[in-house]
Amino acid sequence: MGKVSLELKIKEEISILLVAIKATNGEPFDLQPLITTSVCNVICNIMWGNRFDHDDEQFKILMKALNDEFANFVSTGLLNFLPWLRHIPPFRKLMQDTIRNERLIFEVLKKNRDLHVENFDADNIRDFTDAYHNEIQIEKQKGRETTFKDDELLYVVWDLFMAGTETTSTTMRWAMLFMLKHQDVCRKVQAEIDDIIGRGRLPNMADANKMPFTEATIMEIQRLGNIVPLGAIHATSEEVQFRGYTIPANTAVMSNVTAITMDPAFFSNPDKFCPERFLDENGHVIKNEALMPFSVGRRVCLGESLAKMELFLFFTSILQNFDVKLPDGVMEPSFEGIFGVTWMPKPYRIRICARE
């Protein structure tokens, strides 16, 4: 995660995304399918060492099933606590759809795993799946009991697809909404892009440290976008005393991230979109510990470095080449959200026009 080789894979995907956006010719469209497909292809590259064409039938099946799972998550989560609901409409159909989607997803995952096993070469580890399968072989040779198993690999890859696709694509969709709403901020980001990068090449991660306003803008998008309002569920490893309460060991703990990111004690005028709050008087980025988009504690999101890389490269590449505009007749972007796997914006249409 966060290595130069991965940056090249992300930029390859961005190049294809920019061509697809240009093909819309400034007409209103829903960005969600394109951005989700691009981010998912980054995960495919990590997992399997290759990307899929957007028109690939196997990939379209995977993307549709993943998108349906994301959208249905808030409802299916209730079945974890009240499983008897699966016998009652509309949860019966929801359960059937979930089982069908997961079967389709795992068919794709299994097919790619089996291809890797057939062509496995311990002297040529190409990707995550090869590395995992290699670990299985090592453990077998040592005769040790291990959790590294072929079936477990499928679930690990499934987790990485769910976590690595939805979070970044949703943050990017919020990002475009904030740029639609705050055109002054968008123009300042574009001015910084023009000054540091220009128009002749794609952004690099090496540019990020020279672009404090852009970094501050992404931080403010993450703060107000707040895609995981209650953080990731953690557990206490031992008994904890906290504000007069005793929390036993092995207790599930959730962090109210929203209460922190919207607390005036940490962020003045928290309802206001203001990237400058993350800059000091000299224009340098200020790190605020109250900003915690990747959860809290030592067990933060393992994909943090990948997500930061993707957000910077996708965000700057789009604004380097395009202006974002509302469709004709639409006066204000809607910031209504849907609570699925994450807090995601409702579907919206956007015009992304080539910059002059």
Q: What CATH number is attached to the domain comprising 119?
A: 1.10.630.10
Token digits of residue 75? 């409802």
pLDDT at 56: 85
Helices and strands (DSSP H and E) totals, the chain: 10, 8
Neighbours of 304 (CB within 10 A): 14
- The answer, yes or no, to whether residue 230 has pLDDT greater than 80, is yes
R_g of the chain, CA atoms, integer Å: 22
DSSP H stretches of helix in 119-270:
128-142, 150-181, 183-196, 212-225, 257-261
Whether cis (ω within 30° of 0) applies to the bond prior to 327 is no
Q: What is the pLDDT of residue 94?
A: 87
Q: Residue 276's domain spans which residues?
A: 4-354
Cα–Cα distances in Å, from 51 out to 12, 38, 54, 64?
10, 9, 9, 17
How far does Cα 194 stand from its chain's mean position? 26
CB of 169 closer than 8 Å to CB of 36: yes
Q: Do residues 24 and 352 make contact, with C-beta atoms less than 8 angstroms apart?
A: yes
Q: End-to-end alpha-carbon separation of the chain, Å?
A: 35
Q: What percent of the chain has pLDDT over 90?
A: 66
Nearest to 155 by CA among 99, 95, 113, 96: 113
**Nearest-angstrom CA–CA distance, 68 and 66:** 5
HEC per residue, 230-262: CCCCEECCCCEEECCEEECCCCEECCCHHHHHC
pLDDT on residue 1: 55
User: How many Å apart are CA 86 and CA 331, to the nearest integer?
Assistant: 42
Cβ atoms of 341 and 333 within 8 Å: the answer is no
Q: What is the pLDDT of residues 241-250, one digit of tens each?
A: 999 999 999 9
- Count the domains in the chain: 1
Residue 267 has what pLDDT? 97
In tens, the pLDDT along 253-290 reads 988 999 999 999 999 999 999 999 999 999 999 999 99
Q: Using pLDDT thresholds of 50, 70 and 90, give the confidence band for residue 4.
A: low
Q: In this model, does residue 355 exceed pLDDT 70?
A: yes
DSSP for residue 291: -
Letter string b/e over residues 327-345, b meaning 16 or more CB atoms within 10 A of that residue's CB: eeeeeebeeebeebbbbbb
Q: Which helix or strand (DSSP H or E) is residue 354 part of?
A: strand 351-354
Whole-angstrom Cα distance, residue 353 to residue 25?
Answer: 7
Reported confidence tier of residue 3, pLDDT bands at 50, 70, 90: low
Task: Please state, rounded to an integer, the average pLDDT across all residues of the chain.
Answer: 91
| Residue range 289-347, pLDDT digits in tens | 999 998 887 778 888 888 999 999 999 999 999 999 999 999 999 999 887 778 889 98
**What does the pLDDT look like over 71-114, one tens digit per residue?**
777 677 778 788 898 899 888 988 898 899 999 999 999 999 99
Contact 225, 174 (CB under 8 A): yes
Q: Kindly report, residue by residue over 104-156, the tens digit of the pLDDT.
A: 999 999 999 999 999 999 999 999 999 999 999 999 889 888 889 989 999 99
Between the alpha carbon of residue 159 and those of residues 152, 164, 302, 349, the distances in Å are: 11, 8, 12, 29
